[in-house]
């Protein structure tokens, strides 16, 4: 690769630079802080264009790259030190748990190209999905309804509904009962 040939000018950030700068300042001073409380974090995300459902809990020290590219359904939890690195859309369903230290990464570079192009693909986590602590979810991953990624798992592809996955890369361990 030749990093001097890298050109990211085509990437659509979704909002003007001044909005992104304002978000970065508020995220650094308030949102990604130790300050307790979830309601004001939800309000701040909504103010910057995130679609956040009712009863969502967002713990301290959470990072969100672009709030306007984030959707979270009703009654979902985002644990401490979660990093939502959403260069592309991230959709988290209802009744989901994103445990502490999880990294949701929608972007990567094309290692096979000399120009090291940036490539961003969305992440979708279906209703009742659970991403275990310290896990990583890669670009383009779909976590279907009720799927679980165990502690420290790495999900590079689709996790089928009502199944439990673990390891790096994540492998199917077993099916799980459906929640009614």
State the distance between the two ends of the chain, measured CA to CA, in whole angstroms. 50
Q: Is 104 helix (H, G, I), strand (E, B) or coil?
A: strand
Q: Read off the pLDDT of residues 85-104 as tens digits, 9 standing for 90 and up.
A: 999 999 999 999 999 999 99
- Average pLDDT of the segment spanning 33-43: 94
Kindly report the number of other CB atoms within 10 A of residue 48's CB atom: 20
Tell me the C-alpha distance between 164 and 36, whole Å: 32
CATH of 15-172, one of 2.40.30.110, 3.40.190.150, 3.40.50.11810, 2.160.10.10: 2.160.10.10
- Average pLDDT of the segment spanning 78-83: 98
Q: What is the per-residue pLDDT for 25?
A: 96
Distances in Å between the Cα of 44 and the Cα atoms of 26, 78, 140 are 9, 15, 27
For residue 1, pLDDT beyond 90? no
Domain assignments of the chain as residue spans, ordered by start? 15-172
Q: Read off the pLDDT of residues 118-171 as tens digits, 9 standing for 90 and up.
A: 899 999 999 999 999 999 999 999 999 999 999 999 998 999 999 999 999 999
Higher pLDDT, 35 or 11: 35
Q: How many residues does the chain have?
A: 180
């Amino acid at each position: 690769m030749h990093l001097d040939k890298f050109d990211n000018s085509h990437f659509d950030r979704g909002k003007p630079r001044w909005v992104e700068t304002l978000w970065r300042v508020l995220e650094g001073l308030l949102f990604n802080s130790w300050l307790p409380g979830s309601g004001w974090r939800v309000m701040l995300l909504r103010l910057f264009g995130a679609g956040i459902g009712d009863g969502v809990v967002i713990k301290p020290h959470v990072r969100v790259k672009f709030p306007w590219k984030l959707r979270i359904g009703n009654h979902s939890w985002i644990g401490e030190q979660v990093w939502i690195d959403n260069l592309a859309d991230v959709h988290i369903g209802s009744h989901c748990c994103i445990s502490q230290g999880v990294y949701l990464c929608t972007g990567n570079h094309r290692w096979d190209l000399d120009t090291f192009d940036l490539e961003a693909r969305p992440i979708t986590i279906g209703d009742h999905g659970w991403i275990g602590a310290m896990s990583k979810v890669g670009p383009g991953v779909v976590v279907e309804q009720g799927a679980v990624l165990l502690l420290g798992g790495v999900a590079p592809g689709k996790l089928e509904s009502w199944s439990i996955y673990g390891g790096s890369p994540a492998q199917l361990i077993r099916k799980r009962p459906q929640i009614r």
